[in-house]
Structure 1
Amino acid sequence: MSDCCKTGFNWNGKPTGSESTFANTKTYAAGSNKDRTVLLVHDLFGWTFPNLRLLADHYAKEVNATVYLPDFFDGEVIDPSPLEDPEKRKNFDLTSFIGRHSKEIRYPEIESFAKELRSKYKKVGAIGFCYGGWAVFKLGAKGNNLLDCVSTAHPSLLEKSEISNLGVPTQLLIPETDQKFTPELKEFSLKTLPEIGVEFDYQYFPGLVHGFAAKGDEKDKKQKDGLERAKNAAVGWFVQYLD
């Protein structure tokens, strides 16, 4: 992960869901559908990030699903103020943070949460932003039977093997400029997904950058249009595959 993961904007609005515990994990939950659920795997700013809670509210209402945004950083909460404060961004040690929350450390808990969802809901989808992108791809791997579909926006830490092992319908929401989902990974995805036979939706957002779907500037028309299009695309994807 790089500095692009620490930049962005805080959105206006007040989340309307609630905090609870599910699968022994603190989580933000929105919606009350007993058959259809969406797991939202957070980015660097974790489960308390208001922007992601607002997105969870939208998904719950527009998909008619129960949406869970769990804490997968073991209680560590990142103040979102570095998004718009260059000095705070400079002082945030991203390398150490990722070391504390590596795939090896965090994936077992993420997988356990998804298994609990699968045991309680008929249909389960997942979306991951930045840090969460690799996680939903691993959950959606062939043979896991944990998810019915996957969506990701500007994923980080993603490996080619995690793309080629996908076994469920997959949506990618990809900006033009992204230091983490590189041109090589874009090309690999577009070549590999048809070869492995999964249904996929690759949506390209020209002029936008890493983080746009979760941290874009609402005051900038192009960015606002992009983040709204990404939200609508994810909603449409989940409506289709969780029906």
Structure 2
Amino acid sequence: MLRMFTIVLHVLFVTLCLQLQQGVSGPQCLEHPPNLNGTSGAGSVIKVGGLKAYVTGPSHSKLAIILASDVYGFEAPNLRKIADKVASTAGFHVVVPDFFYGEPYNPNNTQRNMTVWLKDHGTDKGFEDAKRLIAALKNKGVSKIGAAGFCWGGKVVAELSKGYYTKAAVLLHPSRVTLDDIKAVKTPIAILVAQFDNGTPPELMKQFKEALSTNKIDNVVKIFPGVSHGWTVRYQDNNVTAVKSANEAHQDMLDWFTKDVQKR
């Protein structure tokens, strides 16, 4: 009996480690799954750099923003609302890629649990796809690019920030972003996290801030009180605190991109 219990604990530990390695911090990353809608939003779906993507805002703009989704993908209505807001407010061309090739995580698919799903959709693959997407945008005449990542997408954007792929980055409740990642950041970065998030505890955020400041990287590290992981894109409409904080975070993101992409 003890041996069986030990085996079960080992399996659970290995599963958690794989999820952490591939870009998911834990159960909080999966709470409040959205009702996906491929026709939502004011924009359209086209191919960019070999990826399907939701695009919105002026197609002729020289300034583009990439939004990297959480595990639920690019058809999440709230994510597309954010894209539309960024496009309409500041005139950016906004691109929300389908990094999962039509297979976002489905919590109801017992044959494709998170461990199995992540083997095909790790953030390392997302990073490579993002680089191709950026190259395609530049080939079309885009001169400046910013990128924001939500949860899973936060790790992808953190990787982009280690090079000079973008002019600025925003991480919103990022998953599995480490202090070593932050120490390697080379571009201006804003990190927006929740008070209640196992993946971004206050002490770690303090270390992030210290590392960025030591390296003289323009940065904002902000903890939003009273909200949990995923609140900026998976908020519940009846949660007044979450909606207010989500709107504040969206404005912070927009201000960051206006300062570091539009005006520089």
Q: Same fold (TM over 0.5)?
A: yes
- Gaps of at least 5 residues in structure 2 are 1-23
Within 5 Å, give how 1:18-167 maps onto structure 2. Answer: 18-32=44-58, 33-78=60-105, 88=108, 93-119=113-139, 120-141=141-162, 144-167=163-186
Q: Is the 8 A contact 1:63 1:238 kept in 2?
A: no
Per mean C-alpha deviation after superposition, the further-off stretch among 215-224 and 127-136 is 215-224
Can you give the 5+ residue segments of structure 1 that lack an aligned partner in the other structure? 83-87
What do residues 83-139 of structure 1 show as CA deviations (whole Å, max 9, x unaligned)?
A: xxxxx4988721222222123333211221123224431211000000000111111
CA contact (8 A) 2:192 2:249 kept: yes
User: Are the counterparts in 1 of residues 146 and 257 from structure 2 also a CA contact under 8 Å?
Assistant: yes
Distance 1:91 1:180, change over 3 A: farther
Deviation at 1:9, TM superposition (A): 6.2
Q: Cα offset for 1:64?
A: 1.1
Structure 1 moving runs of 4+ over 6 Å: 89-92
- Cross-structure match for 2:200: 181
Q: What is the aligned partner in structure 2 of residue 241 from structure 1?
A: 260
Query: After alignment, is 162-171 or 96-105 more displaced?
Result: 96-105
CA 101–24 in structure 1, closer or farther in 2 if over 3 Å, else same: same
Structure ranking higher on relative contact order (CA contacts 8 Å, 6+ apart): 1
Q: Distance in 2 between matches of 1:188 and 1:90?
A: 38
Distance 2:80 2:215 in 1: 33
1:118/1:146 contact within 8 Å kept: no
Measured after TM superposition, the shift of residue 63 of structure 1 is 2.1
SS at 1:238 equivalent: helix
SS of alignment partner, residue 157 of structure 1? coil
Q: d(CA) in 1 for partners of 2:178 and 2:221? A: 17
Equivalent pair of 1:34/1:121 in contact (CA under 8 Å): yes
Helix, strand or coil at the partner of 1:242: helix
Distance 1:161 1:220 in 2: 35
Moved more, 126-135 or 180-189: 180-189
SS of residue in 1 equivalent to 2:171: strand
Match of 1:85 in 2: none
8 A contact 1:134–1:159 mirrored in 2:
no
Select which of 41, 45, 56 maps to 1:15. Answer: 41
TM-score between both structures, scaled by the size of structure 2? 0.82
Give the root-mean-square deviation of aligned CA atoms: 2.2
State percent identity of aligned pairs.
Answer: 24
Q: Assess, with a 3 A threshold, how the Cα gap between structure 1 residues 201 and 118 changes in structure 2: closer, same or farther.
A: farther
Q: Measured at CA, do residues 219 and 10 of structure 1 come closer, stay the same or move farther in structure 2, by a change above 3 Å?
A: farther
User: In structure 2, how many angstroms separate the alpha carbons of the residues matched to 1:201 and 1:109?
Assistant: 27
Flag the structure with larger Rg. 2
Structure-2 separation of matches of 1:90 and 1:26: 26
Q: Is the 8 A contact 1:150 1:171 kept in 2?
A: yes
Query: TM-score, normalised to structure 1's length?
Result: 0.89
CA distance in 2, matches of 1:126, 1:106: 13
Task: Check whether the contact 2:66–2:147 (CA below 8 A) recurs between aligned residues.
Answer: yes
